[in-house]
Structure 1
Amino acid sequence: MAKQPSAVQPKGTPLGHRIARNKWVYILFIPAIVYFSVFHYSSYYGISIAFKDFKPFIGIAGSEWVGFKHFRYIFEDPNFLRLLYNTLKISIMRIIFSFPVPIIFALLMNEVRNMRFKKVVQTITCFPNFLSWVVFAGIVYTFTGPSGVINMVLENMGLDTVNLTTNPDAFLPLILITDVLKNFGWASIIYLASLSGIDPNLYEAAAVDGAGRLRQTWHITLPGIRGVICLQLIMAIANVLSAGFDQIFMFLKPALYNVGDILDTYVYRIGLLSGKYELATALGLMKSVVSVILIVAANSIIRKMGEKSLW
């Protein structure tokens, strides 16, 4: 019997032959390569602004090198520790309180057997994700503002009115609640997709052995999506210095700077409003470096624990 030719490319195949054989695959890559080259990699040249005394009229190339001057300025800024504390506080609270919500919601939806009801609930919970924070914050202000629905109800009941949008004590709960309401439905999709991949025979075998729904969830469902949870947790840890600029910016007021001003809003003020682009770039570069360190560390720890990691 004649030996069939192998579909695997031999290691010694010339590069030109491999490219010619897979030319249509490489052609499909061209739009992505152009996109990243124009809108991502070309902008890396601007990172040098962080190390220069940038003058817009003479450009990046003509600006004088100043080394780590802008980084020292940021660390010596009396507001830096407050900004860092607020950023970490909001991000960590999000991981503690907001991160588990889509997981719990996905587990509950996985138990629903009425598909029509399930689709309606998923549609309703996913819809807020498609609203911008400008629109969503406007809806929130309609309820929580000085003349909002909540205060109208309190006033009609003869109770004292409250302004939740300018109360420092209410800022963090407001951020966490609105973050959950807007994002939990969309964030649960990845967990629902992972749940659909669990073998139903495992549940049948567990039921035969006398395991109830809680035991099945603990010993079958959660281990089945543990890898996805770990991956999402890694990404959340990597973004710990990005507390959500869009959301914070929409709810932040000068009266709330002590509790709500974060690194991203500071970058916005000094960069776009004050024109200190070099300081904004330096702070952004510092955040990126820290994020890379965090994602590598979190990935290594989870991999050593035997869980699924990014690489």
Structure 2
Amino acid sequence: MQNSIQVNHRKLAAGRKSSLMEYFKKHYFLYLMLSPALILTLIFKYGPMYGAIIAFKDFSPIKGILGSEWVGLYNFEKFLSSPNFEVIFMNTLKLSFFGLILSFPVPILLALMLNQVRRAGVKKNIQLFLYAPNFISVVVVVGMLFIFLSPTGPINQLFSWITGEPVMFMSRPEYFRWIYILSDIWTGAGWASIIYVAALANVDPELHNAANLDGANLLQRIRHIDLPTIRPIMAIVFILAAGGIMSIGFEKAYLMQTATNLPTSEIIPTYVYKIGLQSGDYAYSAAVGLFNSIINVILLLTVNFTVKKLNEGEGLY
């Protein structure tokens, strides 16, 4: 009996192996097309992970990664016990959290409004207007912010006319987050709405026609037809955004920094850049960056689990 079971298991394993080989032979061209992206990912994403071990060492460029002394969690303890930890961590968390809460609904609203535009020519012109800011360089965007929000800029001229004195937007810490988030929404919301516009284009027009016959108004049609259609995409986009909540773009925050707005503009990415590249403390900066990545992974797993529970099992994985 036992021998027959073992024979059956071997036959099943052999059958699966042969079917897998047949499938690979049949679709080998697709795997060849995939191979360049896979190789680049392995080289530039997974390969550099080897260097992350310097976070656990007293790294010396002369001794190299393997030759440097192992210090364990010393660099992590140094960061967690530093007087700047709480300020930097909370600045990063607040900027990311408020940015996610304020920016996440905007592409959805834009897509829902675009979906109501029936004239193709008008819709294309509106989309062009909304997508264009995404292609403006971060350096140019920050330069525009400094020009428009400077004491002699057009926005401050309006404030001077109303209040009698200009507002120092770029040097006051309390304005940094609002400027950062609102400018992010302006540059990215239109481009982010593409995925929702594409999903809404697949909605069967007969559903809307039937809802019209039943007397449903515009808001009711959006609530019961459009939103359920894009709900799975909304869940995936939210999970990805929440998973990267600590991964704020370094370039924009660094370019917007001034000597007087550092209490709110100093975040983990800018701190890592200053400690690692400017001060040359590579091991410490690697530990800070690795700590940031661990927080992102924890948030990704937590949000994905929560969304799956609330969204009838639909999550990222």
| TM-score in same-fold range (> 0.5) | yes
The equivalent residue for 2:9 is none
The equivalent residue for 1:143 is 148
The equivalent residue for 2:209 is 204
The equivalent residue for 1:28 is 33
1:262 to partner: Cα distance: 0.9
Q: CA-to-partner distance for each residue in 1:45-65, whole Å, 9 max, x for gaps? A: 101110111001221111111
Residue identity in the other structure for 2:34? F
1:151 to partner: Cα distance: 3.0
The equivalent residue for 2:316 is 310
Residue identity in the other structure for 2:180? I
The equivalent residue for 1:284 is 289
1:270 aligns to 2:255 (yes or no) = no
The equivalent residue for 1:133 is 138
1:186 aligns to 2:191 (yes or no) = yes
17-26 or 220-229, which deviates more: 17-26
Looking at structure 1, the residues matched to 116 and 276 of structure 2 have their Cα atoms a distance apart, in angstroms, of 49
Q: CA-to-partner distance for each residue in 1:108-129, whole Å, 9 max, x for gaps? A: 1111112111111111111111
2:99 to 68, 71, 94: 94
1:114 aligns to 2:119 (yes or no) = yes
Checking the alignment, whether the CA contact within 8 Å between 1:227 and 1:307 is kept in structure 2 is no
In structure 2, relative to structure 1, the CA distance for the partners of 1:22 and 1:108 (3 Å cut) is closer
| Structure 2: runs of 5+ lacking an equivalent | 1-13
Aligned ranges 1:62-73 → 2 under 5 Å:
62-73=67-78
Aligned pair count reads: 303
Residue identity in the other structure for 1:197? N
Looking at structure 2, the residues matched to 191 and 158 of structure 1 have their Cα atoms a distance apart, in angstroms, of 42
Checking the alignment, whether the CA contact within 8 Å between 1:133 and 1:246 is kept in structure 2 is yes
The equivalent residue for 1:49 is 54
Checking the alignment, whether the CA contact within 8 Å between 2:59 and 2:283 is kept in structure 1 is yes
1:310 to partner: Cα distance: 0.9
With normalisation by structure 1, the TM-score equals 0.91
2:171 to 153, 159, 166: 166
Checking the alignment, whether the CA contact within 8 Å between 1:137 and 1:251 is kept in structure 2 is yes
1:153 to partner: Cα distance: 4.6
In structure 2, relative to structure 1, the CA distance for the partners of 1:202 and 1:254 (3 Å cut) is same
Checking the alignment, whether the CA contact within 8 Å between 2:247 and 2:296 is kept in structure 1 is no
Looking at structure 2, the residues matched to 132 and 112 of structure 1 have their Cα atoms a distance apart, in angstroms, of 30
Looking at structure 1, the residues matched to 210 and 31 of structure 2 have their Cα atoms a distance apart, in angstroms, of 47
1:81 aligns to 2:86 (yes or no) = yes
Looking at structure 1, the residues matched to 134 and 31 of structure 2 have their Cα atoms a distance apart, in angstroms, of 34
SS in 2 for 1:254: coil
9-18 or 283-292, which deviates more: 9-18
Residue identity in the other structure for 1:121? I
| Structure 1: runs of 5+ lacking an equivalent | 1-8
Looking at structure 1, the residues matched to 123 and 244 of structure 2 have their Cα atoms a distance apart, in angstroms, of 31
Residue identity in the other structure for 1:224? T
Residue identity in the other structure for 1:310? L
Q: In percent, how many aligned pairs have the same letter?
A: 37
The equivalent residue for 1:224 is 229
1:14 to partner: Cα distance: 7.3
